[in-house]
Amino acid sequence: MSAEDGRGLSSELESARWYHGMLPREDIQQLLTEDGHFLVRQSEVKIGEGLKTILSVRWNGKFHHFVISHEDGRFFIEKYQFDSISDLIRFYTMKKKPITRRTGALIVYGVPKQHWELHHDQVKLGRLIAEGGFGGIYEALVKINDRTVKAAVKVHKGRALDKEIIKNICNEARIMRRYSHPNIVRLYGVAVGRDPIMVVMEHVKDGALDSYLVKRGRWLCISEKVRMCLDAASGLEYLHKMGCIHRDVSARNCLVQKMRIKISDFGLSHEITNNEEKYKLTNLKQKLPIRWLAPETLMTATYTTKSDVFSYGILLWEIFMDAAEPYFGMTIAEVNEQVKSGYRMPAPDCQVASTHRRSLT
């Protein structure tokens, strides 16, 4: 039997084709497409009790999730006990025994890892690019399909035992992996087999647009800034056609490579079925980018593709003002009240924008 970690996981299990790490229900239910399909994963069953090993099965059109218990070196779900999880899976598939008498569920086919589910040992981290409350973003080399690519890897700090944290990380990755567009940052995959969780994206070498504009914006000509605006518009149009409200369009969430813009950071994004659909915020206490929000969002906590377009307008202002702070000189509370009352920032004078930017700093 292979050496195990503190959760009873062995290297043999982590390499098993049907083991999917901390992938949440929202993802695994898309993978279990037929009765008898199964996979093994990790999840927090009760808050504060840490991760448990779960056998997820589709049977009679329903999804069942069985906790695999681990006591005295033995693994079991009901009465049959085994030396390893692999032995348990092998027994139930070969003997065609139901997992529990109540459900009668059989396991027939172990769903393999998807191309976007990466192993941690595929990722070799390099220098730290940026830090945030989530952790850090690193340059990295990633082995994908027998080739090595340069990537940017978001590494989430601490132990990812919180089900909501895992759900949010995988939700962002689930949204990103649907997209393929020159003005949208590409997702290579996620590594969720163990801590820390990693989100692996294409490396965009010139970094965040706001930092780029602070350093180089004053030397960019108007036509170059217009092209940046068009790039962002193209990316946002694509997202809306794909049924995505980004909810955080801003210079800090755009990346630059060879003067081309790519929209990134889908942590707040929400998918919709049509462009008239609205997304209503339920947690009114969460931190929001007030300076970029549309008046209807500030008044009703409602997001639409149109509210994204308002935020895009603030992004245009940032581009021509070299990433100056929107509503400079106002507090967050003042911005909130002024925008709801109809105030709008004056359009920048393109001829003097860079001079004005220097005066603000």
CA angle at 14 for the pair 151 and 9, rounded to the nearest 5°: 130
In the chain, how long is the greatest CA-to-CA distance?
78
Give 4: exposed, middle or buried? Use CB within 10 Å, 0-12, 13-18, 19+: middle
Q: Which whole-number Å values give the CA distances from 175 to 245, 339, 342, in the listed order?
A: 11, 30, 33
Among the listed residues 235, 254, 256, the one whose alpha carbon sits nearest the alpha carbon of residue 309: 235
Which residues does 92 contact at the CB level (< 8 Å), separation at least 6?
99, 106, 107
Query: In angstroms, rounded to a whole number, what is the distance separating the alpha carbons of residues 11 and 307?
Result: 47
- For tokens 């690193």, the residue is 138
CB 59 within 8 A of CB 53: no
Among the listed residues 252, 262, 320, the one whose alpha carbon sits nearest the alpha carbon of residue 292: 252
Rg of the chain in Å (alpha carbons): 24
Known catalytic residues?
248
Q: Which helix (H) or strand (E) holds 140?
A: strand 135-144
CB 242 within 8 A of CB 306: no
CB 155 within 8 A of CB 136: yes
Query: In angstroms, rounded to a whole number, what is the distance separating the alpha carbons of residues 283 and 176?
Result: 23
Question: Quick one: CA torsion of 270, 272, 275, 277, rounded to 10 degrees?
Answer: -100
Among the listed residues 254, 99, 95, the one whose alpha carbon sits nearest the alpha carbon of residue 183: 254
Which residues does 181 contact at the CB level (< 8 Å), separation at least 6?
234, 235, 238
- Amino acid making up residue 223: S
